[in-house]
Each structure stands twice: as structure tokens, then as C-alpha cells.
Amino acid sequence: MLAENPYQQYQKQSIMTMTQGELVVQLFRGCSKKLNYAVYHIENGETEKADQDLYGAQRIVNYLNASLDNQYDISANLHALYDYFIRMIIKGKIRMDAEIIKEIIPMIDRLGDSFQEAEKIVHKK
């Protein structure tokens, strides 16, 4: 069995010590990164790589959607927004259309920023 390198150990420890809010922010950042990579790959005719990036982004959005706590009113709005993101990712994937993906990246970035701000407010207390 191969031993983990120190960087992998650090990453694992970092994730294990994150708050839920920090984890959500990192998921949004990861989703945005995958979508930006997908745009790059689509624009360069690398459809297989684009497909992998879009699949990864879709998995992240599905995870965020599944992890919502439905006891809060905002969850219904977030479900609708996540469903929209998933539809757009699938549409962009089917058409291999970077413009469709570019449309949702700023929305995902702003939502991630909002969660980051909320996380700061919660931990000021």
C-alpha cells in the first residue's frame, strides 16, 4: 500500500476540520473551477475533457442540492436554482456550448460569495 504524500494528508486534514459553511464555499469554488475548465476545453475542441469537467460540476451541484435542509424557507429557492444549474450544465454538455456554461458561472460565483459572507457573519459571534 502506498503512503499518502504530505500534501494529500494536509488536504484531507483540512477538509476534516472545515465547518459546514466552509465546505459549502469550497464546493462552489470547485464547481466554478470545473465549469471554467469545461469552457476552456469546449473552446479548444477537447470534448472528452469538457465532458469530464461538466460531469464533475454536475455532481457538485447535485450534492449541494441533496444536502439542503428543507426546514428552511430558502431551501425551496435554492432547490430551484440548483435545478436550473443542472439543466444548464446538461444542456451545455449535450450541445458542447461554452456560452451556456458561461451564463451560469457568475451566478455560481456570486452564490459561493454569499455563502462565504454568511459564514463570516456566523463565526463572528
Looking at the 3D structure of the chain, how many domains does it have?
A: 1
Closest among 40, 90, 72 to 82, alpha carbons compared: 90
In a domain, 14, yes or no: no
pLDDT > 90: what percent of the chain? Answer: 76
CA-to-CA distance for 19 and 33, rounded, in angstroms? Answer: 21
In a domain, 45, yes or no: yes
Distance of CA 73 to the CA centre of its chain: 22
CA-to-CA distance for 123 and 95, rounded, in angstroms? Answer: 42
Q: Exposed, middle or buried: residue 65 (CB in 10 Å: 0-12, 13-18, 19+)? A: middle
In a domain, 44, yes or no: yes
In a domain, 12, yes or no: no
Taking only the tens place, the pLDDT of each residue in 60-101 is 999 999 999 999 999 999 999 999 999 999 999 999 999 999
CATH value at residue 84? 1.20.120.340
In a domain, 47, yes or no: yes
| Domain ranges, residue 29 | 20-122
In a domain, 88, yes or no: yes
Answer for the pair 88, 100: CB distance below 8 angstroms, yes or no: yes
In a domain, 66, yes or no: yes
Average pLDDT, rounded, for the chain: 90
In a domain, 4, yes or no: no
